[in-house]
Each structure stands twice: as C-alpha cells, then as structure tokens.
Amino acid sequence: MKNIIIGQYIPGKGLFYRLDPRTKIVSVLFIMIAVFLLQTIEQLLIALGVAIIMLLIGRISIIKVLKGLKPILVLLIFTFIFQIMLNREGVMIVNQEMQLTIFTALFLLLALIIWRILSRYIRYRFLLFLAFVASIFLILVYVDFGYPLVNSFSFKIYEQGLRMSAFVVVRLLIIITLSTVLTLTTKPTDLTQGLEKLMHPLKKIGFDSESFALIISISLRYIPTIFDEANKIMLAQASRGADFSEGKLKDKLKQVISLLVPMFIIAFMRSEELANAMESRNFVPGEKRTRIYELVFSYRDVLATTISVLILAGAIVLKVI
Amino acid sequence: MGIRFNQVSYDYSSFAQGLYTAIKDINLEITEKNEFIALVGHTGSGKSTLAKHMNALIFPTSGSLEIFGNIITSKRSKKIKYNSIRKKVGLVFQFPEYQLFEETVEKDIMFGPMNFKITRDEAKILAKEALNLVGLDDTYLTRNPYNLSGGEKKRVSIAGILAMDPDILVLDEPTSGLDPAGKRVLMNLFKDINEKTGKTIVIITHDMDLVYQYFNRVLVMNDSKLIYDGLPEQLFKEKDLYINHLDYPNTIKVLTYLNQKLNLNLNVYQKTNADALLEIKRAAKL
C-alpha cells in the first residue's frame, strides 16, 4: 500500500515545483483535453515523447512515475488484451490455429502448478505471471497431438485491434503521467488553494469554493493519519489473536468488524478534536481568511500557460484538419 | 526460554523520507518467569518498536529473535504459527480505543480467547476472571466499553489480553493519562499478577517514581539503542541520566535538594515518599 504514488507529494526542486499551482492545474487540464483530441497513434506517441521530455526538464525521476503506474498496470493490461481480442476491423495480421486436446489440458495444468510454486520463491511475481500467460499461448499453439476436447479454433489479431489497443493504452499512460506530475510536485495544500482560487468566480452562482477547498484539504491531510490509525488497530487486534488471512468466512467477517468499529470511532474522535482545535483558533466558517503565502504569478507561469494553450490549439487544429 | 533478541534492528521505510532506524543491534533476554521489567527512554527512542517485536507483530529488518522456541527473522515463515506466539506474549497498546469494538465489555474481553478455538462458555468464564483480576466487578460485564471512563477503558483493554492467559505480558504505557491514585492501583495490580501467577511483565513507562518503586529490572533505550539493562537502584546511582533524557525519581530529587540547601547528609536513595519522610525525620531528630 505504501508505494501508491498517485496523490503523493515528494519534496524536491525543479521547474514544476516553482510553478504556481493554478498554472499547473490549468495547464494539465488543457494538455489532457489536447490528448483526448488527438486521433492517431503517431500523434499520441509524439505526445508521449513530449510528456517524457517534460519529466526530464522537471527533473522528476521517471522510475518514480513508473512505480506510481504499478497499481493501474492490471487495468492497462486488461484494456490492451480486450482491445486486441475484440476488435475485428482492418487487415488480419495473425491467424494462429489453436487446439485444445487432452495433452494441452495436461500441459496447461502443469504450467499452472509450476507458476504457483515458483511464485512463492521468486520476487518478480508480475514477470512470472507474464511468463505464465506466454506459456499458455505457446502450449495452445504447439501442443496439437492427442485427443481433441473441442474443435480447433483460431486466434486472430487484426491491424485495427492492435492500433486501437496501443492507442488506448498510450493515452491512459499520458493522462496518468500528467496527473502524477501534478500531484508529485504540488503540496496538497497548494493544490487546494489553487483549486479554491480557480473556482472563486463560481461564488456568483452560490458555490462556496472556500469551504469546498477546506473539505478537500482536510480529507487529503487525514488520509495518511487514518491509514496510520488503521495500521495500529490492525496490530492491536492481531495481538489479541485476530488472524486476517486465515479462517472461515464467518470468522473473517467478525475480524473485519473488529477493525471497522474502532476505525469509525477514532475517525469521529479525531474530527471532533479537529473541530474544537479550529474553533479555539477562531475559525469561523464562511468568514474571509488571509493566508501566509499568497500565490504569485510569475513569468514562468505565463510561459507554461502559453505553452499549454498552444498545445491545446494545436490539437484542435489537428482535429479540424 | 522466553524472548531472546539477537542483534535485532528495525527500519521504518517511508516513501518521502526514506529509511528511519527505530531500533539498532538490540541484544536482550527476557525469561518467561517472575520478571518485572520497566522499559524507559525518551519519545522516539524505539521503546514501542521493541515491544512490537516481542509478540512478532513486526519482523526485524536484520538480526533474529527467538520467542518461545520460534525463530523470527525478517521473512515470514510458513512453519511458525504467529497466532500462537501472540497467545503466549500478550501486548496491550497504549490507547484502548484501538481495540475496543464490541457492544458489551464481556463480549470484547471474549474476543481474544475466542480467537483460539475455545467454546463460548469457557470464554465467558475467562472474561469474568480477567475482569475481576483488573479490579472491576461483574456489573461491568454488560456495560458498553465506550461509555466507560479512561481508566476503566484501559483496564478493560488489559483484561482483554489477560483473558488470553499469556505467559509474558507487555504493556505500552498503561499508566499514561491516569490520575496518581489510578496509577498506583494499576501498578499494584500488575505487581500482584506478577507475584501471584509468576508471569513476566514488561511495562513501558516514563514515570521514574514507578520505575524506582516497583521494578527489579530496567531497560533504557536511547536513540534506537539499548544502553542499560539492570537494577533500577544501580541506574540511578551510576548513570548520568540527564544526558539520556531521563529524570531522577522525586524522592531522590527532593532529598538531594535538601542535602545541598541545608548541608545535610541524608541517604537520598529512598524508594517511597514514606521512606523519604522517615529519613528526613531521622535527620531532624539528630
């Protein structure tokens, strides 16, 4: 859980750290829209290249961003596979006969067992899983002797399917990289302040952007705290013999309740304490507040906004042509 | 054979700040019978981390420890039943709110024993016994744990661990947030359990008066290292305590002050207030 990087700020120095949060939010928004307007895979690949160059300019470690992609890797792979398998347009590229015989089934079972055993000892579980999937493919293709269980079928990949799957995956990659850059380089407090300022004009239609920003910043602030508390509760219950990995479903349910009840009670206690602490420091909801650090717009922000507007304009032009 | 630490270190890792060493190269042995140990040290010195190792809630980053014959290393082993270790070494956390969750005190105390495959009736008997042991009567059995006072909650959470009948009991600051009378009652209770049942008890505390009065062994943690392991009397006589963020017990402080101001020759090493008073009276008569 600890290596989830989406929404995590890492202190550092670089171009993106010095930008105004408002600029960053607006620019990321513009560039995201631009990415959605792009239509061919070639354009998207160029956009990906630009995104990577942005990371390099901002001196953000690409490895850290890649680590952040880990939680959504499964999603990416599934979209990729489904696009390939279900899209049947364009020229056929691969047409592979496949057979399911008794021996194939046996080999598949063997591969499954080997995979399960190896996964206990090898650390790179994900690579192992990929190897397992590849072995399924190879077995289905090459083991064609023995009594067939079902009629032979063929595995087809179409050009359009390949294109579409690459398209969708690259687009997701870019979007996530962009949002990671935003959250990685902007303190949550700055981010909410930026949002507050950006949504300020909405006050005219009755939307209280300050309260909204406060709600967001409090919830963001309390994610790690609550996570910490949950960990402590888990340890406390584990030392009373609660076992969260084994046991019958009924026992497990009881053990989940033993986590949830203290969790809620502690959350309520915390919120009451916070409310008291805020009131004792004279917080009055809806009143105008001042800030220690006012946001300032510098030449860098003008530059960044201009570039993002240009990118958006370029994308629109490409779309129209 | 109780618990033996062998060059145990533990690092906390966090994404933003990197590694943080909580305890480093700890060598320590705790026997399962008749010990009454205080674990002291400044905040952040690694006391709680050390305590969490004692019932295998966390595993050492390097080194190993032996708990009732089970060797615990940095890797989770399939052969070891970690649950059974937690039955043998009971750990009570500082804040009772982290573990109370049932609607009655009885059910909550029963949660621990019930996790070890015993019948409901047996668990009920154990719950009642444990509750009486911590000095609460049977009327508390049907009460809601969240409607109790701070001290009562603390006792119920201790009873929740005692009901599992552990051989070694580890308590993380059981006396924090209690009034002086409550503190003494609770400490007498632990001393009592220790003497009656022979269970080894390890208590994390900041209160030097308690350390001096009650314990026969004290462990001092400082900057992730174990710097002292021995008698409390020895600790207060020899070590330069202020450097290690500790303090002298009140009796020693008062008597030393009197010695300095009035040029007396009192024996400052008195454990209780009554003894200190006697010493002063003795000096006054001379």
The answer to whether the Cβ–Cβ distance between B93 and A239 falls below 8 Å is yes
CATH architecture of B3-248: 3-Layer(aba) Sandwich (3.40)
Residue A3 has pLDDT above 70, yes or no: no
In sequence order, the 6+-apart residues with CB closer than 8 A to the CB of B256 are: B248, B268
Instruction: Kindly list the distances between the CA atom of residue B15 and the CA atoms of A184, A221, A300, B61, B75, in Å, as whole numbers in the listed order.
Output: 12, 16, 29, 17, 21
Q: Any CB–CB contact under 8 A between B153 and chain A?
A: no
B218-234 pLDDT tens trace: 999 988 889 889 888 88
The answer to whether the Cβ–Cβ distance between B93 and A261 falls below 8 Å is no
A113-134 pLDDT tens trace: 888 888 777 777 777 888 888 8
Residues A34 and A86 in one domain: yes
The answer to whether the Cβ–Cβ distance between A232 and B16 falls below 8 Å is no
Q: What CA–CA distance (Å, rounded) separates A21 from A280?
A: 30
Partnered with residue B230 across adjacent β-strands are: B218
A222-257 pLDDT tens trace: 887 888 888 889 989 888 888 776 667 777 787 888
Closest in B16, B97, B111 to A240, CB measured: B111
pLDDT at A6: 44
Residues A87 and A31 in one domain: yes
Residue in B77, B115, B148, B154 to test binding to A, most A beta-carbons within 10 Å: B115
DSSP reduced 3-state for B71: strand
A37-68 pLDDT tens trace: 888 888 888 888 888 888 888 777 787 777 76
Residue B189 has pLDDT above 90, yes or no: no
For residue A129, tell me if it sits in a domain.
yes
Q: Which residues of A129-166 are buried (b: 16+ CB within 10 A; e: fewer)?
A: eebbeebbeebbeebeeeeeeeeeeeeebbebbbbbbb
Name the residue with higher pLDDT: A233 or A88: A233
Residue of B nearest to A268 (CA): B97
Q: What CA–CA distance (Å, rounded) separates A59 from A39?
A: 29
- If you ran DSSP here, which 8-state letter would residue B138 be given? G
Which residues from A are below 8 Å from B19, CB to CB? none
**C-beta neighbour count of A302 within 10 angstroms:** 12
Closest in B58, B86, B146 to A241, CB measured: B86
The one-letter amino acid code at B118 reads I
Q: What CA–CA distance (Å, rounded) separates B47 from B40?
A: 7
Residue A69 has pLDDT above 80, yes or no: no
Which residues from A are below 8 Å from B146, CB to CB? 265
Residues A10 and A85 in one domain: yes
Count Cα atoms within 13 angstroms, Cβ side, for B64: 10
For the segment B255-278, the average pLDDT, to the nearest whole number, is: 85
Which residues from B are below 8 Å from A5, CB to CB? 15
B52-95 pLDDT tens trace: 999 888 899 999 999 998 898 888 887 888 888 888 999 999 88
Residue A5 has pLDDT above 50, yes or no: no
Confidence of residue A84 (pLDDT cuts 50, 70, 90): confident
Q: What CA–CA distance (Å, rounded) separates A101 from B85?
A: 50
Count Cα atoms within 13 angstroms, Cβ side, for B211: 28
Backbone angles phi, psi at A72, to 5 degrees: -100, 10
Residues A229 and A273 in one domain: yes
Backbone angles phi, psi at A218, to 5 degrees: -65, -45
Beta carbons of A218 and A274 less than 8 angstroms apart: yes
| Paired tokens of B239 | 């070590």
Q: What CA–CA distance (Å, rounded) separates B63 from B28?
A: 12
Residue A7 has pLDDT above 60, yes or no: no
pLDDT at B239: 65
For the segment A58-86, the average pLDDT, to the nearest whole number, is: 78
The one-letter amino acid code at B214 reads Y
- Average pLDDT in chain B: 87
For residue A199, tell me if it sits in a domain.
no
Q: What CA–CA distance (Å, rounded) separates A235 from A216?
A: 29
The answer to whether the Cβ–Cβ distance between A262 and B160 falls below 8 Å is no
Beta carbons of A30 and A312 less than 8 angstroms apart: yes
Backbone angles phi, psi at B5, to 5 degrees: -90, 135
Backbone angles phi, psi at A180, to 5 degrees: -65, -40
Residue in A121, A240, A254, A269 to test binding to B, most B beta-carbons within 10 Å: A240
Which residues from B are below 8 Å from A260, CB to CB? 101
Which residues from B are below 8 Å from A9, CB to CB? 16
Whether the pTM exceeds 0.80: the reply is no
Interface predicted TM-score of the whole assembly (ipTM), two decimals? 0.85
- Average pLDDT in chain A: 82
Strand order in the sheet with B62-67: B18-30, B3-14, B62-67, B70-72
The answer to whether the Cβ–Cβ distance between B15 and A3 falls below 8 Å is yes
Residues A221 and A248 in one domain: yes
Name the residue with higher pLDDT: A200 or A264: A264
For residue A196, tell me if it sits in a domain.
no
A252-280 pLDDT tens trace: 787 888 889 999 989 999 999 999 999 99
Closest in B15, B101, B112 to A241, CB measured: B112
Nearest to B28 by CA among B168, B152, B194, B133: B168
| Paired tokens of A4 | 């989830």
The answer to whether the Cβ–Cβ distance between B16 and A236 falls below 8 Å is no
B14: alpha, beta or left? (left if phi > 0; alpha if psi -120 to 50): beta
Q: What are the residue boundaries of the structural domains of chain B, listed by start? A: 3-248
The answer to whether the Cβ–Cβ distance between A239 and B115 falls below 8 Å is no
Q: Any CB–CB contact under 8 A between B88 and chain A?
A: no
Residues A12 and A159 in one domain: yes
The answer to whether the Cβ–Cβ distance between A233 and B13 falls below 8 Å is no
Residue of B nearest to A242 (CA): B115
Residue of A nearest to B97 (CA): A262
Q: What CA–CA distance (Å, rounded) separates A269 from B126?
A: 31
Q: Any CB–CB contact under 8 A between A13 and chain B?
A: no
pLDDT at A74: 79
The answer to whether the Cβ–Cβ distance between A240 and B112 falls below 8 Å is yes
For the segment B240-267, the average pLDDT, to the nearest whole number, is: 82
Residue B15 has pLDDT above 60, yes or no: no
Which residues from A are below 8 Å from B102, CB to CB? 261
Q: Any CB–CB contact under 8 A between A97 and chain B?
A: no
For residue A214, tell me if it sits in a domain.
yes
Q: Dihedral (C-alpha) A81, A82, A85, A88: value to the nearest 10 degrees?
A: -130
Residues A170 and A262 in one domain: no
Which residues from A are below 8 Å from B93, CB to CB? 232, 235-236, 239
Confidence of residue A165 (pLDDT cuts 50, 70, 90): confident
Count: domains in chain A: 3
Residue B1 has pLDDT above 80, yes or no: no
Confidence of residue A136 (pLDDT cuts 50, 70, 90): confident
For residue A238, tell me if it sits in a domain.
yes
**C-beta neighbour count of A48 within 10 angstroms:** 16
Report CA A9 to chain centroid distance, whole Å: 15
Biggest CA–CA distance in chain A, Å, is 81
pLDDT at A4: 45
pLDDT at A64: 75
| Paired tokens of A210 | 């300050």
Closest in B14, B55, B97 to A269, CB measured: B97
Residues A112 and A245 in one domain: no
Beta carbons of A147 and A101 less than 8 angstroms apart: yes
B80-139 pLDDT tens trace: 888 888 889 999 998 888 888 888 999 999 988 888 888 889 999 999 999 988 888 889
Q: Any CB–CB contact under 8 A between B68 and chain A?
A: no
Residues A49 and A159 in one domain: yes
For residue A38, tell me if it sits in a domain.
yes
| Paired tokens of A297 | 């717009």
In the stretch 230-289 of chain A, residues with CB closer than 8 A to chain B read: 232-233, 235-243, 257-258, 260-262, 265-266, 269
Give A235 to chain B, closest Cα distance, Å.
6
Residues A14 and A134 in one domain: no
pLDDT at A246: 65
pLDDT at B89: 92
Q: What CA–CA distance (Å, rounded) separates A176 from B272?
A: 65
| Paired tokens of B122 | 């047996």
Give me the percent of chain B exceeding a pLDDT of 90.
28
Give the number of beta-carbon pairs within 8 Å between A and B.
70
Give A262 to chain B, closest Cα distance, Å.
6
Name the residue with higher pLDDT: B38 or B178: B38
For residue A197, tell me if it sits in a domain.
no
Residue B18 has pLDDT above 80, yes or no: no
Residue of B nearest to A9 (CA): B16
Residues A56 and A183 in one domain: yes
Partnered with residue B220 across adjacent β-strands are: B40, B228
The H or E element spanning position B161 is helix B150-162
For the segment B239-246, the average pLDDT, to the nearest whole number, is: 72
Sign of CA dihedral A297, A302, A304, A310: positive
pLDDT at B92: 92
Q: Any CB–CB contact under 8 A between B144 and chain A?
A: no
Backbone angles phi, psi at A162, to 5 degrees: -60, -45
Which domain covers residue A80, as residue numbers? 1-97+152-187+296-321
For the segment A69-90, the average pLDDT, to the nearest whole number, is: 78
Q: Identify the burial level of B253 via C-beta atoms within 10 angstroms of its C-beta, where 0-12 means exposed, 13-18 middle and 19 or more buried.
A: middle
